[in-house]
Amino acid sequence: MIRVALLGASGYVGGELLRILHAHPEMEVRTAFGASGAGKRVGDVHPHLGLAYPDLVHAAWDPALLAGSDLIFAALPHGETQRLADDLLSPGIPIVDLGADFRLDSAADFEAWYGEPHQRPDLLGSFTYGLPEFYRDRIKASKRVAAAGCYPTAANLALKPLIDAGVIETIGIIVDAASGVSGAGRSIKEANLFPEIAEGVAPYAVGHHRHMPEIEQELGMAAGLPVTVSFTPHLVPMNRGELVTMIVEIAAPLAALRTCLAERYVIEPFVHLLPDGVAPATRMVRGSNHAVVNVFADRVPGRAIVVVAIDNLVKGSSGQALQNMNVMLGLPETAGLRQAPLFP
C-alpha cells in the first residue's frame, strides 16, 4: 500500500480526503496532521470517520513524521504551505497542495489578491496547475501539483475548451456562482453559524473573490491574451455543491458549443455534457468527483448560457487532489473515485 501523509486533516477538505482515500484500493493514510485536532482520534474530529479509521490519531505538525510517506496531500489555509515549503518539499515526496499558494503563476497576483507578499516566489514555477483534464501530461511528469480551486475548476471545465475552439468570445464573460457552506471551511465565525445561513441566500466577496485571478489565468492561457471576467459567488443553505452559471458571447452557432464540449469530454471519466435541455444540478454530483455541464440558448441573440455543477468538496478539492495524485503516480485516474453520487 502507498503510504499517505495528510496535512490539514481536521477541516472539511481534510475529512473529505480521508473519506475518499478510505475507498482507494492502493493508498493508506499513515499520518494525519491537524492543528485543531492534534492528539485526537480521527473519530473525535470527524465523527463520521471513526469507523473507517479506528486507530489513526491526528498529529501535531512535525516534519520528521513525513519519513516513510510515499506522498503528501496539503489541505492547509492559504499561506501555510508556503511557510512549510522547505520541510514539505525537501524530502522529494510527491505532493499535491489543495490550497491557493501555488496556483497563480505570478507572485504579484498572489499579493494583490491575498493581501500579503508570497513567501516563496522562487517555488511558484515548480508546481504544476492541477486540473488533470487539461494538464494531464505535465501532472504526470510533476512531483508538485497545485490542485485547481473549486470555482475555477467548474468555470474552466466549461470555458477553456470553448475558448480553445474559438466558439465563444473572450470578452463579456459573466460567471455567476453558488456554493454550499462547506466551501467556507470549518472556520469558526459568526457568519458560518447555522442560523445565519439557513433559509437565506446572499452574494459574498462581491467583485473581489480570490478565485477570480485563477479563472482568468487559465482562460487567458487558452485565449492567448488576457481575459477578464465578472465573477459573483453566492452562499446557499446547503452543505456541499457548487453551481456555476455563465453568460458568454458566442462566436459560432450554439450547436458548435455543444459539439465542442461533447467531443472534448467524451473520453473524460469525470466531465459530462448532459442531454440537450437538461439543466445541471448539484444533486446530480453530490459526493462524487463528477462534473456535469450543459449549454443553453439565451434569448439575447449572440449569447449562450453555460452551466456546470460539481461537488465543491470532491471535484472542487479533495477528489481533484486524488485524481491529480493518481495521475502523478501512474495509477488508474479513477482509483478511489468511482463512487456514484448520493441522492437524496
Q: Which residues are catalytic?
A: 150
Torsion, CA 303, CA 304, CA 307, CA 308, rounded to 10 = -100
Q: Residue 228, interface with its own copies (CB under 8 A)?
A: yes
Phi-psi label, residue 287: left if phi above 0, alpha if psi -120 to 50, beta otherwise = left
CB of 133 to its own copies, least distance (A): 16
Q: Which residue, chain included where needed, has cell 514539505?
A: 88
Query: Which of the residues 115 through 144 are near its own copies (CB under 8 A)?
Result: none
The verdict on 341 binding its own copies (CB under 8 A) reads yes
Alpha-carbon span 284 to 275, nearest angstrom: 13
| 249 in Cβ contact with 319 (< 8 Å) | no
Beta strands 95-97 and 128-130 are unpaired
Identity of the residue, 194 or 330, whose beta carbon is nearer to its own copies in the bound complex:
194
The yes or no reply on residue 55 touching its own copies (CB under 8 A) is: no
Q: Is 337 in the site for its own copies (CB under 8 A)?
A: no
Instruction: For residue 298, state whether it binds its own copies (rule: CB under 8 A).
Output: yes
Which of residues 9, 139, 243, 327 is near its own copies by CB under 8 A? 243
Cβ neighbours around 31 below 10 Å, total: 21
Q: Contact region for its own copies (CB under 8 A) — 101-109, 115-123, 148-156, 172-180? A: 172-180
Residue at 248: amino acid letter = V
| Contact letters for its own copies, residues 252-291 (x by CB under 8 A) | --------------------x-x---xxxxxxxxxxx-x-
Site for its own copies in 75-104 (CB under 8 A): none
The answer to whether residue 172 forms part of the interface with its own copies (CB under 8 A) is yes
Interface residue with its own copies among 1, 51, 141, 225 (CB under 8 A) is 51
Question: Distance between CA 228 and CA 146 in Å, rounded?
Answer: 22
CA dist 270 → 136, 180, 188, 237, 267 (Å): 13, 20, 33, 26, 9
- The span of 59-67, 123-131, 184-192, 256-264 binding its own copies (CB under 8 A) equals 184-192
